[in-house]
Amino acid sequence: MWLRFIKLFLYDIVIKRLPPTYYPGGAAIKTIRYYFCKGLFKACGRGVTIEPNARIAFHKVEIGNNSGIGSNALLGAVKIGDNVMMGPDVIIYSRNHFFDSRLTRGNRNYGI
């Protein structure tokens, strides 16, 4: 538990502030971010790219092979498949809503 906390702290202070992968030395930066963040995700495929300043709910995110998270992205609890590229400033929130038409409260029917 403490190790995970320390890794999240280091990600927030150092790793997410590394330069983008298109800068000189980008391949090394991509590798550093990938190996550092790989263990923080709920599930992580191979060849994942994480650009700077991405804010991620790591323990709730699954990401497939060869996918990328753009700079300044904000991800909640999501499952991202293989070969998905997200641009900069993407925001994906997730919430669970009830859509069962049998859910009622009083005379009102909630859902479809």
DSSP string, 61-82: -EE-TT-EE-TT-EE-S-EE-T
Task: List, for residues 83-108, the tens digit of each pLDDT value.
Answer: 999 999 999 987 665 555 555 555 55
Return the CA Rg of the chain.
17
pLDDT score, position 102: 54
Long-range contact pairs involving 31-38 (C-beta distance under 8 Å, separation at least 24): 36/7, 36/10, 36/11, 37/11
Rounded-to-integer distance, Cα 6 and Cα 83, Å: 30
Rounded-to-integer distance, Cα 41 and Cα 63, Å: 8
pLDDT score, position 103: 54
Decide which of 2.20.28, 3.40.1130, 2.40.10, 2.160.10 is the CATH code for 2-94.
2.160.10
Task: List, for residues 34-92, the tens digit of each pLDDT value.
Answer: 999 998 999 999 999 999 999 999 888 999 999 999 999 999 889 999 999 999 999 99
Rounded to two decimals, the pTM is 0.78
- Report domain extents, the chain: 2-94
